[in-house]
Amino acid sequence: MLESLLAQADMNGSVNVAINIAFGIIATVMIFAAFSVVTTKNVVHAALYLVVVLAGVAAQYILAAAEFVAVSQVMVYIGAVMVLFLFGIMLTRAQIGKEEGLNNNGWQLGIPVALLLFGLMAYVIVDTYEDTVIGERTPFATEGISDQVLAPFLVPFLAISFVLLAAAIGAIVLARKD
Amino acid sequence: MLAQLAAEFPGWYPEWNIPYWLMSILRVVGGLVAVLLPAGGIVYIFLFKMMSFMQSRLGPMEAGPYGSMQLLAEVGKWMQKEDLAPDNADVRIYKMAPLIVLLSTFLLVVVVPFGPQAYFTNFETGIFYALAVASISVLGILIAGWSSANKYSLLGGLRAGGQLIAYELPMVLATLGVVIQAGSMNLNRIVEVQNTGEIFGIGLIGNPFVITQFIGFLIFMIAVQAELTQSPFDMPIAESELVSGYMTEYSGFRFLIFFIAEFATAGVFGFIASVLFLGGWGVPFTWFGWEGISDVAWWMNFVGPLIMFTKMFALVGVIMWVRFSYPRFREDQLQTFAWKVLIPLALANTAATAILKVVF
């Protein structure tokens, strides 16, 4: 595989071999961590493996020159979502050591869903790009992203913020005692 | 990359040909210096000496002149100790936790610019990145509290989690004002804007954002104080209630790592605050007739770090001064202060900055 990569790089100067190797290593770690999330016998360990997966996604974004998305990934998923996960787990059930009965009864259903999703996404990616070689990219300016979000995509952006507002109000309603 | 830089800005970069490997070594060494030197300096100057003088005592005097070698003695002492873990602890995670906290410090310093080229990486989204990786340390603290198998540790970890989540928001919102005014998230660009700026047409001192963003500066420094869990925000390690919070079970060099990370992070936040609000490594560019960052003389790469260290020690001095002067808040006061005072104030500051930016 490495040889074909090097041959590609020789033919087409824009292929960066180091980035492709790094992609492979990070992807392997992510797959291993993702399996560990569902197989480990401890909730906190599962959450920490999930952190590895999400950090891997951020690293892949960096390799794809999507700086802003990568940093958002770290901020939102690792800095906020995972911290709240761990916070919640520790407030409620936080045993040390192995724990039984973590799987729910329908866990087998996850396997066909995962396979189906994998097949669908692989098909879409292969179908879209076919043999196109995507060369090295320079990071996209952040101003460009804000110009996109606040002009042509303003309506979807506002719609999403309404969803978040609804979720925040819902949380307050659930938490109120009176 | 240097060749590319030299091509972009001809005439101001000396004719050095630094190969990539040497540049990488320089960056690694520079990163270690930028983390460990502030940590050691802060502990000696403020924790050993300033606190002692404020309490009418001398502090360490035996090791070296004026006790300046005390730090090495302490490090040697911690390194010798056995690497203990409690019987019931989740040992792997227990041992990993302090490293995650230190990792967050190193990831933070990577983004700080010390001169026109004296940076580790020139991230386009610099300040956003800094705020994002600063939150990784919470993970380390939470799992340190959990894996110790100790009620005091768990409570300390939960308190730290709640506190750091609450004070991250005012910090992000206070930074927003600076980003709006500078029109960029790149830290070097923020430095350039401050040093080329003018206040009512007078460019003598540039336009350090501490003047125009004074409310933002105050909110930022208060949030930093809380993020560093320094008094009056030190409930996570409140010694009279929780022994030592999430650090209770740690000893030896793992405690040392927590300790270094605490003061090194104070130093890095000092660097970031001086970049955001005090003009960073720069001097007002009009003093030397520089138009923009590409005209800055090459020697600023050497003077810049000195300026940064001076500003950082001044800011951390204020943090430590507050730490030694005020008693601890109550837990509910801490949360109320963040959610009901700082966050609304920071939102108002952001809105006001945005309106003024459009008007002027």
Q: Give me the residue label for tokens 């955001």.
A: B276
Identify whether B49 is part of a domain: no
Identify whether B13 is part of a domain: yes
Which residues of chain A does B146 touch, with a Cβ-Cβ cutoff of 8 Å?
44, 86, 90, 94, 96
What tokens does A68 get? Answer: 């802003």
Identify whether B72 is part of a domain: no
State whether residue B232 is helix, strand or coil: coil
**What confidence category does residue B92 fall into, taking pLDDT thresholds of 50, 70 and 90?**
confident
Q: Is A78:B135 a contact under the CB 8 Å cutoff?
A: yes
Mean pLDDT taken over chain B: 84
Residues 6+ apart with CB under 8 A from B25: none
Which pLDDT does position B1 carry in this prediction? 46
Q: Where are the domains of chain A?
A: 2-140, 141-178
| Out of A64-68, A129-133, B46-50, B210-214, least confident range | A129-133
The maximal CA–CA distance of chain A, rounded, in angstroms, is: 70
Mean pLDDT taken over chain A: 84
Which residues of chain A does B93 touch, with a Cβ-Cβ cutoff of 8 Å?
44-45, 48
The total of other beta-carbon atoms located within 10 Å of residue B173's CB is: 22
Q: Does domain A2-140 have CATH number 3.30.70.890?
A: no
pLDDT at B13 over 60: no
Closest-CA distance, A48 to chain B, in angstroms, reads 9
Which residue from B88, B173, B228 is spatially nearest to B345, judged by alpha carbons? B173
User: What is the C-alpha to C-alpha distance for residues A38 and B105, in angstroms, rounded to an integer?
Assistant: 31
Which pLDDT does position B11 carry in this prediction? 47
Q: Is A74:A146 a contact under the CB 8 Å cutoff?
A: no
Residues 6+ apart with CB under 8 A from A146: none
The answer to whether B161 contacts A83, with C-beta atoms less than 8 Å apart, is yes
Which residue from B89, B87, B82 is spatially nearest to B148, judged by alpha carbons? B89
Angle between helices B252-277 and B214-227 (to 10 degrees): 180
In this prediction, residues A19-45 reach a mean pLDDT of: 88
Identify whether B321 is part of a domain: yes
Q: Is B113:B187 a contact under the CB 8 Å cutoff?
A: yes
Which residues of chain A does B24 touch, with a Cβ-Cβ cutoff of 8 Å?
none
Partner residue facing A142 (CB), from B125, B157, B158: B125
- Adjacent-strand bridge partners of B199: B202
Q: Could you read off the pLDDT of B249-289 as tens digits, one per residue? A: 888 888 888 888 889 999 999 999 999 998 888 888 777 87
Print the domain residue range for B169.
2-43+80-359
The answer to whether A96 contacts B129, with C-beta atoms less than 8 Å apart, is no
User: What is the C-alpha to C-alpha distance for residues B240 and B233, in angstroms, rounded to an integer?
Assistant: 14
Which pLDDT does position B349 carry in this prediction? 92
Number of domains in chain B: 1
Q: Where are the beta strands (DSSP E) in A95-169?
A: none
pLDDT at B153 over 90: no
Quick one: B213 exposed, middle or buried, by C-beta within 10 A (0-12, 13-18, 19+)? buried
